[in-house]
Structure 1
């Protein structure tokens, strides 16, 4: 019997190796799998390459992972913002490597990994510092830059609903990078707020099929407030 429901975050996070590439879903603070990031910190894997939309907010979530010294390199689109002090300090001191990727390119590079595409040409970034030293090509009078897929050893995503086969649905903007990251990784771990019986999810509404998911962990819904996070009443 297929049952991908993990007993705890710690159980789901076991086996993540030092040096892994970890794809972490989320757009800003929407859809960040906070419990899984906290579990990764407790699990202890280090020398990680992390792929995310940004480089962390405040002192929680991805910022806490950076602060713990577990990340060697980050690949993202928006590393700096008003509350990115953890990233700023590490990057300026030479303790963190950055690969800056335009957001559309980031999503497509991850999608390409899941789709089995070896490489692709994209016009974004042509003629800028981002294309320096990269292969370019003119196609039908337009200039393109060669981009390569981003594969993950592990993907950490936040979903809304799942079942024991690992089928997932998402809530609104929390969906963001989750589906493509799940397809691009060898091992996907997802949190959900509700686990339903098999057949309860309309097959036409399933966003991430269970074939792309290794573990599902049920977590309490949380609410943001000043000073951090708490369990919702």
Structure 2
């Protein structure tokens, strides 16, 4: 059984300068209470790996507005003008990665692969500085794995041993990120007794989860 933490106690585990994988797609599936608690701590110089930065006042957008992020690895930032402005000004180093490549790099980090080979980005700016490998006459880019100090996960339900399930599209990046974070902090909407989540509904097994965040 995992002793649940308040959002404030969980946020206190995250030191300044940490790398964070944060689940969510336009804020859907992001751990909002945990993000709020990190903002309240006032820490800075965070590296955030995520699909996107949502929008001002929502999800990862709150970290952007607070000036907590110095390095961003994401698929797109089109919905957050604050992220765009901070990238242009140089306040945030922004690495834009094609969405499929991003999730595959996270998967590679989580399962211990040395990287992935993809044709995506050949002949574009994405190719700059990367190794090109030819397989059976076809060129691929070698994309390196992504890992993080922490994976911050939003879930629908958790049981008392940390098994997680997700609701509809809030599934998104969360299960893969739970594989690639050295410390996994999950924020479920509810914590239920063991057995309430059916075995085939468990998308992230409790052995991967270090901490659960309670409501309130």
Partner deviation per Cα, 1:61-113 (whole Å, 9 max, x = no partner): 212211211111100011123xx121122112111101110000100100111
Aligned to 2:41: 43
Task: Give the 5 Å matches for 1:28-67.
Answer: 28-67=26-65
Looking at structure 2, the residues matched to 212 and 20 of structure 1 have their Cα atoms a distance apart, in angstroms, of 19
Q: Which moved more, 1:29-38 or 1:159-168?
A: 29-38
Find out whether 1:172 has 2:168 as its counterpart.
yes
Task: Give the 5 Å matches for 1:77-156.
Answer: 77-81=75-79, 84-156=80-152
TM-score, length basis structure 2: 0.95
Q: How many residues align?
A: 216
The 8 Å contact of residues 4 and 166 in structure 1, kept in 2 or not, is answered as no
Looking at structure 1, the residues matched to 194 and 124 of structure 2 have their Cα atoms a distance apart, in angstroms, of 50
Aligned to 1:17: 15
Describe the SS at the equivalent of 1:80: coil
Deviation at 1:119, TM superposition (A): 1.6
Looking at structure 1, the residues matched to 148 and 26 of structure 2 have their Cα atoms a distance apart, in angstroms, of 20
The 8 Å contact of residues 17 and 47 in structure 2, kept in 1 or not, is answered as yes
Aligned to 1:198: 194
Partner deviation per Cα, 1:150-207 (whole Å, 9 max, x = no partner): 1011111110011121100000000000001011001111111221112222222210
Q: Which moved more, 1:25-34 or 1:161-170?
A: 25-34
Describe the SS at the equivalent of 1:59: coil
Looking at structure 2, the residues matched to 34 and 15 of structure 1 have their Cα atoms a distance apart, in angstroms, of 16
The 8 Å contact of residues 72 and 92 in structure 2, kept in 1 or not, is answered as yes
The 8 Å contact of residues 59 and 86 in structure 1, kept in 2 or not, is answered as no
Partner deviation per Cα, 1:26-65 (whole Å, 9 max, x = no partner): 0113212211111111233321100111133133321221
Looking at structure 2, the residues matched to 110 and 4 of structure 1 have their Cα atoms a distance apart, in angstroms, of 28
The 8 Å contact of residues 179 and 208 in structure 1, kept in 2 or not, is answered as yes
Runs of 4+ in 1 over 6 A off after TM superposition: none
TM-score, length basis structure 1: 0.88
Structure 2 unpaired stretches of 5+: none
Looking at structure 2, the residues matched to 74 and 67 of structure 1 have their Cα atoms a distance apart, in angstroms, of 13
